[in-house]
Structures are given as structure tokens and as C-alpha cells.
């Protein structure tokens, strides 16, 4: 049967918001309603007739409400096949009424988990009856309409109202798809909670919130973002955020989270910083960051960890850029920055909370912990005779934070709270050094007295030799090469400082 009229319904929901509209269309069409507990009381208080599930089953709700609807007269009424003569005969033999509509949602497991509730409270929010009813009704979509969330009420009401309380097979299958999405998401959340201790190597991730993007990395590729963007920031101006925008924003926020104490400004292009600097004001930090690479900054993604005021906005507005992320903007700054209609302005509201990273690769998925370690003076190991000055130490800390977030092979050259050049994504360490030196010269920087940071060890002494010849006398790197002593020896012979951090920070 394609068109089926709803003559009886089972309603048992945790969330009762907006349920009235659905109840009204059922009452208008004289639908028999079965219900339990708080939902039954809600329906009665709405002035509608309702039969209790206990009347149907002959059993009360038991075990503190853990068992209410798991009974053959309920499950049978949902699952028996109306076009199967044997099923119909058995339903008649055991006095099992048909249930044509099931309106059931689930206990709020995720909300309970995020509230900091105890383990016992969390366990009690694992729904058993609800998930069983949803799966049963969805399985028998040939005969039954399943409404498994209050977000589906409006659509269900529209269908029932327009079709005299009847549904088509296509409509029921669509709602069954909703139901299996909800049930699989729910089970994934429960598994991941239990798996924090069991640590089974099973990859399960479920995100039900999605934003369709204009396209993917290129216009011929489709793109979707899964997640709640509004939890990370408020978009207060500009066009829709693209796939590439999101990748750059993620890189920008991850970099800026390294800087908590000083006012810092960064400019990124294709996830790499082309300028990073601190300053007494956002304006000063921006100008220093922009100075590092005035070419790559064009069309870049900008981010700061301090409020953008009118003075900063007046300078920033001179640059064509895609995105500016800040914790806040004053009204005068917004008036200036909103002068370009497509310019994206984001007010960041929270840090990145994810502790795991994963991506599809080959015929599967790879997963890793986020790189959340950043070395400072406490982790620095002084391996040369010449010890760093306080200013050099501060600059090495600054440069090491940046190189950690730069595509490998990576080199960062910095001085006085300003990145003055970088070598990015090179196939050899020495090429990254050469690129950084060349870039510094291009933009008029003398690297004499600057420090150099590397995301991984120097395999040969050649990088230290180039640094020395350019006037760089302080280097911070992870160490770990079989030729470390050759590099340390060269530094000692040329009165250079070398610091080992003990941690590599490859980024691919």
C-alpha cells in the first residue's frame, strides 16, 4: 500500500515543545492516541483524549520507568505487516491493534554528558524503549510513519494536514531515513563515551549539523562543512564562508591560540603565516605583521587576539583581505571594515575544543591527537657553549610557536616580536633556510641578530652555515639528527647559540 491513513498513533516524547500542532491535526482526524507517563499527562492537559499504554499492554511502567513500551502489543502493533495475511491473522488472534504513526524521541544523552553529570546519571539517559520503537517503526516504513524528533513536527503536520492524515510510501521512507540517522548518531555518542576507557580501535564519528558550501577546494568540487560554526564565532559581516576559508580560519585560530599574553596579529595565506608580530596595540602589531610580506598579505586571512578599534581598522582597511577574526570589534571599527560588502568579519567566541584530528586517505581514515605541545624556556636544552640572551630566548619562544604551525619543511626567522621571513613547504631543510633568507632580503630585512627556528632537526650542518654567514647567531630546533654533534660543533666554533626543544613539529 502506498497511501496509508493514520488511524492510531503512539506518542511518547521527552521534548514536548511544539507538540501541540501535531496533536491538533491528529485530533481533527479522530486518530486514536496511545501514550505514557508525562506525555500522556501533557496530552490530557491539552484537552485531548488519550489511552494509556498500560491499558493496551496490561502491564504498568516498571523498574523506575525503564520498561514501559517493550511489549508485544506495542512492538507488534508497529511491526506487523499489513499486506501479510499471516501477520494480520496473528495480530487479530492476539488482539494487537495497528499503530500507524509513532512519535518518539530519545533521552538527551549528549546534553547530560556535556553537563558534567555523574556516570550513573549518564547511564540513565541511555534510551532503550525509545530507540527500539524508532527502529521498529522505521523498519516497517511500508506501513508506519515514524517522527523521531521535534524538528520534524512541522514537516509531519504539513503532510498530514494536506493529505487528510494520510502518508505516501515515499514520505514514510524519508522519515525512516531521518530516524536511522538519529538512532545511529545516538549510538555513536554512547559508544564514544564508553570507548574513552575501552579504547577500541573503531572509528566512529557522527555530526548531524551541516552547512553546504559554495564549492570545495575548487569550483568543480562539492563541499560541505559538518559542525556548528556558530559555536566558534559570530559572523557579523560578509559573504558565505567557503571551504578554503574554513581551512585557513582553522589554521589561523590554531596559531593564535599559542599567544595568550601579548597583543598579536597574524596574516595567513594558504594556512601558512606570511606575517606575525606582537605590539603594544593591534595597529602596531598589524603593521609589523604586514611589513614581513606585503605581497602575500593581499587576499589573506587576518587574525588578532585583541579587540579591533578604529585606529587598527583604519590601517587594516587599506588592505584587500578575505577574512578578519578577532575577539571583538568596536563600533567605529565595524563602520570602517564593513565598507567592503564581501569582507568576512568573524567575532571568535571560543577556542578549538577538538583533541583529535582525522582525514580520509586511500581507502580509509587516519587519526591523530592534535599537536598541543609547545616548548618554552623550561623545555629548552642549551647544547652550545654560548648561552642565549634573554631577548634571544624570548624571540626563540615566539619563533618556535610560529614554525610549529607552518607547513614542513619550515623555517622561521624572527626578531623583536616580529616574524621577518619564513621558508615554507620545502622539500629539503636547507631549501627552506635559503627561501627564508631570500624572502627577508626581498622585503628589505637585514637578518643580522635575528633568530632562526626549525620545525625539525637539521640533517646536515649546511643550514647552520648559511645562518652564520647571514649574521644569525641563535637557532632553536628539535634536535634528533645522527649528525647533531656536527651542527653543535660548528655553532661552538663560530660562537653561535643552539637550543634543542626535543619535540618535532612536522605539519603536512
389-409 pLDDT, tens digit per residue, is: 999 999 999 999 999 999 999
What average pLDDT score do residues 266-293 get?
97
How does residue 27 score in pLDDT terms, banded at 50, 70 and 90?
Answer: very high
Whole-angstrom Cα distance, residue 463 to residue 496? 13
Which H, E and C letters describe 313-328, residue by residue? HHHHCCCCEEEEEECC
How does strand 411-415 pair with strand 451-454?
antiparallel
Contacts of residues 465-474 at CB distance under 8 Å and 24 or more positions apart, as own/partner, are: 465/490, 466/430, 466/433, 466/434, 466/437, 467/433, 467/496, 468/494, 468/496, 470/437, 471/446, 471/447, 472/413, 472/447, 472/448, 473/386, 473/449, 473/497, 474/388, 474/392, 474/395, 474/396, 474/498, 474/499
The set of cell numbers assigned to 340 is 567592503
Least Cα distance to 370 among 279, 463, 258 occurs for 258
Residue 55 confidence class, pLDDT cut points 50, 70, 90: confident
Q: For the ranges 72-76, 181-185, 253-257, 265-269, which has the lowest average pLDDT? A: 72-76
Residue 275 confidence (pLDDT)? 97
pLDDT of residue 64: 75
Q: Sorting pLDDT into bands at 50, 70 and 90, what band is 379?
A: very high
How many contiguous H segments (helices) and E segments (strands) does the chain have?
Answer: 18, 23
Mean pLDDT of 143-162: 95
**Rounded CA separation 44/47 (Å):** 5
Least confident of 36-45, 302-311, 334-343, 458-467: 36-45
Q: How far apart are CA 278 and CA 284, in angstroms?
A: 8
What predicted TM-score, i.e. pTM, was given to this entire model?
A: 0.88
CA torsion 8→14→16→21, rounded to 10°?
-30
pLDDT at position 222 is 95
- Phi (first) and psi of residue 469, to 5 degrees: -65, -25
The mean pLDDT value for 85-107 works out to 94
Q: What is the DSSP letter of 299?
A: T
Question: Which residue numbers are catalytic?
Answer: 139, 270
Report phi then psi at 369, rounded to 5.
Answer: -70, 145
Average pLDDT, stretch 60-77? 82
Residues 88 and 75: their CA atoms lie apart, in Å, by 14
Work out whether the CA dihedral 270, 275, 279, 283 comes out positive or negative. Answer: negative
Pairing of strands 101-104, 32-35: unpaired
Stretch 203-229: mean pLDDT? 93
Mean pLDDT, the chain, whole residue set:
94
User: What whole-number distance in Å separates Cα of residue 247 and Cα of residue 244?
Assistant: 5
Q: How far is CA 256 from CA 302, 328, 437, in A?
A: 10, 15, 24
Mean per-residue pLDDT, 322-350 = 96
Predicted confidence at residue 71, as pLDDT, reads 87
- What digits encode the pLDDT tens for the residues 414-424? 999 999 999 99
Q: Which residue has the higher pLDDT, 353 or 486?
A: 486
Which residues sit opposite 101 in a β-bridge? 9, 145
pLDDT (mean) for 191-198: 92
Cα separation, 467 vs 450, in Å, equals 10
pLDDT at position 66 is: 77
Give the pLDDT score at 61.
Answer: 77
Edge-first strand order for the sheet with 300-304 is: 233-237, 344-348, 321-326, 300-304, 263-269, 272-279, 418-423, 411-415, 451-454, 474-477, 497-500, 381-382
pLDDT of residue 295: 96
Residue 1 has pLDDT above 60, yes or no: no
Model pLDDT, residue 53? 87
Residue range 410-464, pLDDT digits in tens? 999 999 999 999 999 999 999 999 999 999 999 999 999 999 999 999 999 999 9
Q: Does residue 26 have a pLDDT over 90?
A: yes
Between the alpha carbon of residue 388 and those of residues 308, 385, 419, 449, 468, the distances in Å are: 35, 10, 18, 12, 15
Section 13-39 average pLDDT:
92
Rounded Cα distance between 147 and 73, Å, is 20
Amino acid at each position: 500500500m502506498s497511501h496509508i491513513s493514520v488511524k492510531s498513533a503512539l506518542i511518547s516524547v521527552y521534548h514536548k515543545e511544539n507538540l501541540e500542532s501535531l496533536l491538533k491535526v491528529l485530533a481533527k482526524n479522530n486518530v486514536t492516541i496511545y501514550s505514557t507517563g508525562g506525555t500522556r499527562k501533557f496530552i490530557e492537559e491539552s484537552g485531548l483524549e488519550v489511552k494509556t499504554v498500560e491499558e493496551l499492554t496490561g502491564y504498568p511502567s516498571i523498574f523506575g520507568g525503564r520498561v514501559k513500551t517493550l511489549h508485544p502489543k506495542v512492538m507488534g502493533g508497529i511491526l506487523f505487516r499489513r499486506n501479510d495475511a499471516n501477520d494480520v491473522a496473528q495480530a487479530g488472534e492476539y488482539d494487537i491493534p495497528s499503530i500507524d504513526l509513532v512519535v518518539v524521541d530519545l533521552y538527551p544523552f549528549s546534553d547530560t554528558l556535556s553537563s558534567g553529570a555523574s556516570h550513573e546519571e549518564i547511564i540513565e539517559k541511555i534510551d532503550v524503549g525509545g530507540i527500539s520503537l524508532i527502529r521498529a517503526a522505521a523498519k516497517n516504513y511500508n506501513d508506519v510513519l515514524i517522527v523521531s524528533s521535534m524538528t520534524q513536527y512541522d514537516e509531519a503536520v504539513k503532510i498530514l494536514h494536506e493529505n487528510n492524515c494520510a502518508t505516501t510510501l515515499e514520505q514514510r521512507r524519508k522519515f525512516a531515513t531521518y530516524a536511522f540517522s538519529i538512532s545511529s548518531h545516538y549510538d555513536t555518542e554512547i559508544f564514544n563515551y564508553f570507548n574513552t576507557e575501552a579504547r577500541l580501535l573503531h572509528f566512529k564519528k557522527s555530526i548531524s549539523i551541516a552547512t553546504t558550501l559554495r564549492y570545495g577546494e575548487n569550483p568543480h568540487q562539492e563541499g560541505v562543512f559538518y559542525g556548528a560554526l556558530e559555536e566558534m564565532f559570530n559572523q557579523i559581516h560578509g559573504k558565505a564562508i567557503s571551504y578554503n576559508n574554513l581551512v585557513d580560519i582553522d589554521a589561523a585560530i590554531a596559531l593564535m591560540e599559542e599567544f595568550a599574553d601579548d597583543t598579536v596579529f597574524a596574516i595567513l595565506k594558504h594556512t601558512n603565516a606570511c606575517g606575525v608580530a606582537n605590539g603594544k596595540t593591534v595597529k602596531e602589531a598589524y603593521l609589523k605583521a604586514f611589513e614581513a610580506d606585503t605581497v602575500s598579505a593581499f587576499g589573506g586571512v587576518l587574525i588578532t587576539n585583541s579587540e579591533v578599534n578604529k585606529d587598527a581598522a583604519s590601517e587594516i582597511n587599506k588592505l584587500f583581505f578575505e577574512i578578519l577574526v578577532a575577539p571583538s570589534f568596536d563600533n567605529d571599527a565595524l563602520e570602517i571594515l564593513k565598507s567592503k560588502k564581501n569582507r568576512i568579519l568573524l567575532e571568535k567566541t571560543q577556542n578549538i575544543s577538538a583533541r583529535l584530528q582525522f582525514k580520509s586517505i586511500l581507502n580509509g581514515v587516519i587519526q591523530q591527537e592534535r599537536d598541543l605541545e609547545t616548548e618554552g624556556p623550561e623545555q629548552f636544552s642549551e647544547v652550545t657553549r654560548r648561552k642565549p640572551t634573554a631577548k634571544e630566548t624570548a624571540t626563540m619562544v615566539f619563533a618556535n610557536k610560529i614554525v610549529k604551525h607552518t607547513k614542513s619543511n619550515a623555517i622561521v626567522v624572527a626578531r623583536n616580536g616580529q616574524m621577518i621571513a619564513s621558508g615554507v613547504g620545502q622539500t629539503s631543510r636547507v631549501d627552506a633556510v635559503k627561501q627564508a633568507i631570500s624572502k627577508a632580503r626581498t622585503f628589505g630585512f637585514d637578518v643580522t641578530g635575528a633568530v632562526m627556528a626549525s620545525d625539525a632537526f637539521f640533517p646536515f650542518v649546511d643550514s647552520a652555515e648559511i645562518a652564520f654567514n647571514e649574521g644569525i647567531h641563535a637557532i632553536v630546533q628539535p634536535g634528533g639528527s645522527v649528525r647533531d654533534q656536527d651542527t653543535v660543533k660548528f655553532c661552538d666554533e663560530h660562537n653561535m647559540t643552539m637550543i634543542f626543544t626535543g619535540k618535532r613539529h612536522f605539519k603536512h
